[in-house]
Amino acid sequence: MSKRVLAIGGHPDDMEQFAGGTLALLSKSGAEVLIAALTAGECGSHDLSSEEIVKIRRKESENGAKVLGAQFLNIGIIDGSLSYDLETTKKVVKLIREFKPDIIITHPTVDYMTDHAHTGKLVLWAVPESIHPNFPADTKAKALEKMPYVYHTDPQGLIGPDGQIVRVNTIVNITSVIEQKLKAFAAHNSQIGFLEKGKIDAVEKTRRWAFTRGQQVRIDCGEGFYQELLEEYPRKNILLDILDDKVFTL
């Protein structure tokens, strides 16, 4: 039976940058992959209006997802305004109940940008409530019957609040799909250009992160994840079952 994979990012382009290689491999394995951005990316331009940049970023997101063999959905919260609160949690519960994922990939709960960190925390709030039938969400979709597997991506730059590279418990070998990942990320041309104005080559920076994670397990390119193992979350590393020898556990 094919798996359903839901990648939940704070912004358009996040999941391509942090998990694009793994999503490509999962899609190739036969999984149904949906990339969902909680915000619409209004803050991704200094020159265009909110309406103009949102329209551009939606098209770029659809193109980027297509490169990975995925679908794209935008929840439409205003960029920079993603709150860790009950109303936003209800939106995430709705998303989870309607897609019914076996696997969720999302941000870590600590990152330099609040939208990233809040996304990771919102997923951990929403997942258990997605199972409780009496938790209110604006959908007719039934509550989940079991907890999905949850994986947190690396933070920006792989760096934690102590200034050190964060520890992960899973690294996926994305060597065979690194160019596909970077092509999907580069499809977000407006964001790449926005970052270049700040003298940041986001694509090459992302490639360097893959080299760093790969070096840990003696491969060329890797993506790091921390599988959520709090009580009630599944203990088995399901990525091992799907991607086999492309997965390293630490």
pLDDT tens profile 215-245: 999 999 999 999 999 999 999 999 999 999 9
pLDDT value of position 187: 95
Among the listed residues 190, 230, 201, the one whose alpha carbon sits nearest the alpha carbon of residue 56: 190
Three-class secondary structure of residue 218 per DSSP:
coil
Whether the pLDDT of residue 26 is over 90: the answer is yes
- Give the tokens for residue 38: 């909680």
**Full domain range(s) for residue 117:** 4-249
User: Is the four-CA dihedral 155, 156, 157, 163 of positive or negative sign?
Assistant: negative
Q: What is the mean pLDDT of residues 105-121?
A: 97
Which CATH number does the domain housing residue 176 bear?
A: 3.40.50.10320
Cβ atoms 139, 96 nearer than 8 A: no
pLDDT value of position 50: 86
Angle at the Cα of 105 from the Cα atoms of 29 and 217, rounded to 5 degrees:
70
- Quote the number of domains for the chain: 1
Among the listed residues 69, 18, 55, 61, the one whose alpha carbon sits nearest the alpha carbon of residue 37: 61
Residue 60: CB atoms within 10 Å = 23
Three-class secondary structure of residue 104 per DSSP:
strand
Q: How many helices (H) and strands (E) does the chain have?
A: 8, 8
Average pLDDT, the chain: 95
pLDDT value of position 198: 61
Burial 188-214 (b: 16+ CB within 10 A, else e): bebbbebbeeeeeebbeebbebbebbb
Whether the pLDDT of residue 24 is over 60: the answer is yes
Residue 33: CB atoms within 10 Å = 25
User: Which residue matches tokens 């079952």?
Assistant: 241
pLDDT value of position 196: 64
pLDDT value of position 16: 98
pTM for the whole structure: 0.96
Residue ranges of alpha helices (H) inside the chain are: 14-28, 50-68, 86-99, 114-131, 178-186, 189-196, 202-216, 238-243
pLDDT value of position 236: 96
Cβ atoms 15, 7 nearer than 8 A: yes
